[in-house]
A and B are shown apart, each in its own frame.
Chain A
Amino acid sequence: MLVGIPLEQSNSTIKPKECATEMSEHLVAVADARCKRSFSRVFNYFAPRLRSYALKQMGNEALAMELVQDTMSNVWQKAHLFNAEKGSPSTWIFTIARNIRFDMLRKLQNRKEDVCSDDLWPVLCEQTADLNEAPLDEQVTLEQIGYLFEELPVKQKAVIEAIYIDGKSQQEVANELSIPLGTVKSRTRLALQRLKGMLNDND
């Protein structure tokens, strides 16, 4: 091993603890005084790291830069939500990036507003989503099924009962009722079709 060669990377010479303290102070200065100099220190430290993380996660330069920009914008705009007692600056910024990535991926997959990162990790809980969606009123109940079942023609009902309730095989049912297997099959199919049809009418 070579001795006496100093480490080149300036960033890596900062100990994590000192760095966390320094970054915390900068974030407080951004929150209290909108200090651009402090923000640029935070930016210069985190932006390249976020880009690296984002590239790995998104696998695409443009999306990665979008993630960096959104994350750092939130840091600038919501620095007052940072609480050093709750965690380090890197933890806070990581959670913001993770949340933005989560929501970006959902948008990319064309999912509408379903589960959003704020539900899971309310780190920037100022952003509240709109809550207005109509409830699902129409639901089929077991009782309805039972009711519809009663409406089936007697022959179909007997077959369905034997197969689905008594757990008999179609062949057993055919033997018991002394009818061809094909008839059991067609009655089953017709009965299920009918039940489905009745369920659809009910909607």
Chain B
Amino acid sequence: MIKFHPSSQQLKEFVEGSLTPAVSLLVSAHCDMCEQCQLRVESETEELAAELVSEIEESFDESAQFGDMLSQITQSPSSIEVDGSSSSYASNLGERTVSIELDGRSFKLPRTLHRYVDKTGNWSSLVGKLWQAPVDLGNQGVANFIFMGSGGSVPEHTHRGTEYTLVIDGEFSDGLSDYDTGDFIFMDGNKTHTPRSDTKEGCLVFSIVDQPLHFTSGLARLLNPFSHLFFR
């Protein structure tokens, strides 16, 4: 069951379109998996739309401002006429990969992330039973799919910036809480954690960090000068 959701403020900013694109991606993917947040987004959208309707300036000469615009717009054809049909999206969707593969297993992704399957690089092995595949978000940086095999864990670390994680499939714990499929997790410099998955199936997460992780113990400290190279 999903226990961890974006905050009300994050959902509101998501609907406004003022949340950063990378974080919006995670909120949107969470909403694909979480009916409760879908409903909250819908009602937030209605509220903002109602504000739009109530917004109007007092002194405003409509004809002067919009005279040409209306006739220009109505000269253009409907998108149905342009595309031939409205089914272009449906056929595109059919061809689109909606899951990612690792080690013979296939993981179905939330709708928001479908477009990013093609932007996902190869899986590479980190420590032990940990696998990572980078997702190119253009100038927004890099996100990662991280798979924790059964018993696999990310070395204990804290964050200089922020880390957002969405559980795509499976369960994991980090010494602070237990997380399940669909959970939306936000971490910052105040928290040190050691994510690990102990279930048989392991756990796939999608994660965005804006600053390199800072490893706090053991062998992994060797990674700190280079952590920007992988845990980005």
- Is B36 an interface position by the 8 A CB rule? no
Within 8 A of A (CB), among B89-128: 89, 92, 96, 111-112, 115, 118-122, 124-127
Say yes or no: A72-B69 contact (C-beta < 8 A), given A80-B86, A120-B112.
Answer: yes
B118 near A133 (CB under 8 angstroms)?
Answer: yes
* Neighbouring A residues of B120 by C-beta, 8 Å: 135
> Do A43 and B70 touch (CB < 8 A)?
yes
The answer to whether B89 and A128 touch across the interface, beta carbons within 8 angstroms, is yes
Q: Is the CB of B78 within 8 A of A77?
A: yes
A98-B16, A126-B86 given; A90·B79 CB < 8 A: no
Whether the pair B119, A119 counts as a contact (CB closer than 8 A) is no
Number of A-B pairs whose CB atoms are under 8 Å? 204
Check B176 for interface membership: any CB of A closer than 8 A.
no
Is B224 an interface residue when CB atoms closer than 8 A count as contact? yes
Distance in Å: Cβ of B37 to nearest Cβ of chain A: 13
Tell me the dominant secondary structure on chain B's binding face: helix
Give the complex CA separation of A192 and B225 in angstroms.
8
The total of chain B residues at the interface (CB under 8 A) is 72
Contact B122 A129 (CB under 8 A): no
State whether the Cβ of A36 lies closer than 8 Å to any Cβ in chain B.
Answer: yes
| Nearest CB in chain A: distance from B152 CB, A | 12
Q: Report chain B residues within 8 Å CB of A196.
A: 226
Residue of B whose beta carbon sits closest to that of A36: B74
* Contact indicator B86/A111 (Cβ below 8 Å): no
Given the known interface contacts A111-B138, A165-B222, A195-B226, the answer about A88 and B46 at a Cβ–Cβ threshold of 8 Å is yes
B73 within 8 A of A: yes
Residues of B within 8 A of A135 (CB): 118-122, 136
Which of chain B's residues 59-94 have a Cβ closer than 8 Å to chain A?
Answer: 60, 62, 65-66, 69-70, 72-74, 76-80, 82-83, 86, 88-89, 92
Is A145 in contact with B138, judged by CB distance below 8 angstroms? no
Cβ of A16 within 8 Å of any chain B Cβ, yes or no, is: yes
CB pair A48–B17 under 8 Å, yes or no, is: no
A to B CB contacts below 8 Å, 21 in the list: A48-B62, A49-B53, A51-B65, A72-B69, A77-B79, A80-B78, A94-B52, A98-B16, A112-B139, A120-B112, A121-B28, A126-B88, A126-B89, A129-B115, A135-B136, A139-B134, A141-B125, A165-B219, A165-B222, A195-B225, A199-B229
Q: Can you list the 7 inter-chain pairs with the closest CB atoms, starting with the nearest?
A: A114-B138, A115-B21, A136-B121, A94-B49, A91-B49, A164-B222, A52-B55
